Amino acid sequence: MSILLQVLVFFLILLSTALVVGIPVVLASPGQWERLKNVIYSGSAAWSALVIIIGVFNSFVK
Tens digits of residue pLDDT in 10-61? 999 999 999 999 999 999 999 999 999 999 999 999 999 999 999 999 998 8
Neighbours of 22 (CB within 10 A): 14
pLDDT at 51: 97
- Contact indicator for 6, 54 with CB cutoff of 8 Å: no
Domain carrying residue 19? 2-58
Please report, for the domain that includes residue 31, its CATH number. 1.10.287.740
pTM of the model: 0.88
pLDDT at 1: 79
pLDDT at 62: 72
Cβ contacts of residue 57 below 8 Å, gap of 6+? 4, 5, 8
- Find, among 33, 12, 13, the residue nearest to 23 by Cα: 33
Tally: H helices and E strands in the chain = 2, 0
Domain count, the chain: 1
pLDDT at 61: 83
